Chains A and B, each alone.
Chain A
Amino acid sequence: MCWRQRQDMIIKPSRRWAFPDLGELWEHRELLYFFAWRDIKVRYKQTVLGAAWAVIQPLLTMVVFSIFFGNFAKIPSEGLPYSIFSYTALVPWTYFANSVSQASGSIVAQRGIITKVYFPRVIVPLASMISGLLDFGIAFVVLVAMMLYYHIFPSFNILFVPLLLIFCVATVLAVGLWLTALNVIYRDIQYAVPFLVQFWLFATPVAYPSSMVPARWRPVLGLNPMTGVVEGFRWSLLGSGEGLGPTFVVSVAIVGLLLVTGLLYFRHMERMFADVV
């Protein structure tokens, strides 16, 4: 019989604060893949419209925004058609909103697994963030189609899109980890998240440009990291806004802080998930 290489495992109460073990996470990468794949598969099996939902949600929001904010309220859109102006922001926003909502309830939803098998718990919220990327991709294709329709050709700034996407995922991760861990301990979170997301949408320049805010106050907007994400996407694809300026730097700093503390907090709480979930 051929065994794998010997592995020794030590089990003891862990130190109070630590980062998730990246090596261990890498070892469980297939499980992460299986979880994400399951999320996608189940979602598409259970829904009639399947992948269409990835587009319907941002698209309908765009239509509503265009009618009320663009047409009636005449909110400026930096010289761009209001529809594409809002849709460009709605694509990363929808990804953020859905992934954060999904992730925050994920550990509690997977109670049955958490109490019966060991694996790095961070895989569970991570999987819902990864499965959300597929929807992001589909919505993004529609965005490209819209850009072609409106004859908007991006500058070389488009090369920043992958970086911005990584930044967007990092934002989702930072916020998601905090809410997931908090939700295991405090079940109030599951009721707070939908409200939080709604509130957050209006605090983020999705329906309006951040240029509506006086220039010297803009870095304050950056305290909301989604401002950086959304304005970043508009800047790199549509060429609007101030680009990766001070607002963006503030957003990056905030995400960095939230991510580091989120990882620490999640790892800290992870130890008791199986006991309290």
Chain B
Amino acid sequence: MNSDICIRVENLGKLYRIGEREPYKTLRDTLARPFQRAFSRRSRHSDSRDQYIWALKGVTFNVSEGEVVGIIGMNGAGKSTLLKILSRITEPTEGNAEIHGRVGSLLEVGTGFHSELTGRENAYLSGALLGMKKREIDRKFDEIVSFAELSKFIDTPIKYYSSGMQVRLGFAVAASLETEVLLVDEVLAVGDVAFQKKCMSKMWDVAKEGRTVLFVSHNMGAVSRLCERCVLLDHGRVSSIGETAGVMSTYLNAAYPVRARREFASDPSKPMQIRSVTLLDHQGEASTHLNLVHPIRVTIQVDVRQRISGTHLALSLEKPDGTAICHSTDLDSQPGKVVTWEPGSYVATAEFPGALLNAGTYTIRVGIGLSRGATVQTIDSQTGMSFQLYDPGTFGAMNVDGYQREGLLLLQVPWKIQRTDSCFSKE
């Protein structure tokens, strides 16, 4: 059992100082400190302006050989610090870790590139930095150049490259790293869409080759496709560890808890007012992180303070950039009717069908309108919440190159192909 373990992390901790001051000292400070101490009452606490923070604390987990493990968590949870410690860039303050096998770490694309040097020279330099021997780079050089699609420009100084070209070269060098253990930090989030797809499928190959990979990412789609297991970090501590799907839903529920329900303060001047909006998943749980396969429900609580007639509840769905996706009112279910509301409290529920919208971020807005002939007067209008639709691995996510399809809708469109050239012989 033990022999299978490839990465063993035990009680790892890293203490950082965060303060108003620069992380590095100036000689003046160091020289002045003894004097400050001598003349200051709070001698012992002269450093009290500095605060210390455990970027990692008590982190323990094991990774078996050949496993691909995702490290997820919010910004500042300690993911990058963990990777930096395992890559030996920085030392832990306490605890220890053991890695069996040659380690390659990719924390950045194009590490060590110098703009004056040519693509070829930079490939060698970056390769050497990542731990490759010159012979190894010699052997893989053609592969690197063709992966980066740069054969024509390989002897051009990279200062003349576009940023996309530099990224391609950087990733191509990194991709040729053949270590047993790979530590990868979000390097996929670079380049244009086409190249991202290529990188993703390369990562896919790496995962299938049986190499041990620790993969830090914010891209939940990538993590769920690449990793069998995940470690969830929260404020430097391991908060969950296990099968990807479970850990991920723990993370997503913790990461987006706040806005699944919004309440609005009572405003007696309004005859009719929206008091709360709640977003529910198909099981009736309030959540802003929703599986796109299932229908989603929005409930709106309304207070009616005086008898009012001709009003309707409206709901609109938008992209974060303001693109309207659809607009709906409660009158859709009772067309042509003039509804009269008696004073009291009401709950309205609207349901959006599942398996229609593509993965992404959406925003809900709600309002109450009063129809007066041809015009509509807005009585109340509120921004509800943003929510995420995630792809649990439908045909939209399971594209050949392992990337989410583009587009607003996720429609499975039937195709039919017929041959029309019956007079030609087949070749």
Q: What residues make up the interface of A, taking CB atoms closer than 8 Å to B? A: 1, 3-4, 6-14, 30-31, 34, 38, 41-42, 45-46, 112-119, 184-189, 271-272, 274-277
Q: Which 7 A-B pairs have the closest CB atoms?
A: A12-B96, A118-B88, A188-B27, A11-B97, A186-B27, A34-B128, A274-B90
Contact A116 B89 (CB under 8 A): yes
Nearest CB of A to B177, in Å: 12
- Please report which residues of chain B, range 324-369, place their CB below 8 angstroms from some CB of chain A when the two chains form the complex: none
Known contacts A30-B133, A117-B107, A274-B90; A186/B26 CB under 8 A: yes
CB proximity of A156 to chain B, nearest CB, Å = 40
Docked complex Cα distance between A114 and B209 (Å):
30
Which B residues fall within an 8 A CB radius of A?
A: 16, 23-28, 30, 84-103, 105, 107-108, 111-112, 114, 116-117, 121, 124-125, 128-131, 133-134, 157, 178, 180, 209
- List residues of chain A with CB within 8 A of the CB of B111: 112-113, 116-117
Contact of B124 with A9 in the complex, beta carbons under 8 Å: no
How far, in whole Å, are A272 and B125 apart by their CA atoms in the complex? 24
Cross-chain contact of A9 among B27, B103, B128, B134 (Cβ < 8 A) = B103
Alpha-carbon distance A8/B121, docked complex (angstroms): 31
Q: How far in angstroms is the closest Cβ of chain A from B73?
A: 20
Q: Is the CB of A1 within 8 A of B97?
A: no
Q: How distant is the Cα of A11 from the Cα of B125 in the complex, in angstroms?
A: 26
Minimum CB–CB distance from A5 to chain B (whole Å) comes to: 9
Docked Cα-Cα span, A112 to B112, in Å, equals 7
Q: Known contacts A3-B180, A188-B26, A275-B23; is A9 also within 8 Å of B98 by CB?
A: yes
26 contacting pairs across A/B (C-beta < 8 A): A1-B209, A8-B99, A11-B86, A11-B88, A11-B98, A13-B93, A31-B129, A41-B116, A41-B121, A112-B112, A117-B129, A118-B87, A118-B89, A119-B129, A119-B131, A184-B24, A185-B24, A185-B25, A186-B24, A186-B27, A186-B30, A188-B27, A189-B27, A272-B90, A272-B91, A274-B89
Contact B16 A275 (CB under 8 A): yes
Q: Is the CB of B96 within 8 A of A42?
A: no
Q: What's the count of A-B pairs with C-beta under 8 Å?
A: 120
In whole angstroms, how far apart are the Cα atoms of A187 and B117 in the complex? 29
Question: Do A8 and B26 touch (CB < 8 A)?
Answer: no
Please indicate the chain A residues that have their CB under 8 angstroms from the CB of B26 in the complex: 186-188
**Whole-angstrom CA separation of A42 from B112 in the bound complex:** 13
Contact B105 A10 (CB under 8 A): no
A258 to B104, CA, bound (A): 35
Q: Cα distance A188–B116 when bound, in Å?
A: 29
A176 to B300, CA, bound (A): 70
Hey, which chain A residues are within 8 Å of B90, CB to CB?
271-272, 274-275
A229 CB to nearest B CB, Å? 28
Q: Determine if A117 and B93 form an interchain contact, defined as CB atoms under 8 angstroms apart.
A: no
A188 touches B28 (CB 8 A): yes
Give bound CA distance, A37 to B180, whole Å: 29
Assembly CA distance A271 to B103 (angstroms): 19
- Report how far A11 CA is from B98 CA in the complex, Å: 6
Q: B98 near A117 (CB under 8 angstroms)?
A: no
Most buried by B among A30, A116, A187: A116
- Contact between chains at A116 and B96 (CB < 8 Å): no
Report A4 CB to chain B, min CB distance, Å: 6
CB-based contact B128/A31 at 8 Å: yes
| A27 to B: closest C-beta gap in Å | 9
Interface contacts beyond A117-B105, A271-B90, A276-B23: sample of 9 additional A-B pairs, CB < 8 Å, sorted by A: A3-B101, A9-B100, A10-B96, A46-B116, A113-B112, A116-B111, A117-B129, A119-B129, A188-B28
With A and B bound together, what is the CA distance between A189 and B117 in angstroms? 29
Interface centre among A11, A42, A45, A185 (most CB of B within 10 A): A11
Contact call B24/A12, Cβ cutoff below 8 A? no
Is B95 a contact of A12 with CB atoms below 8 Å?
yes
* Inter-chain contact A38/B23, CB cutoff 8 Å: no
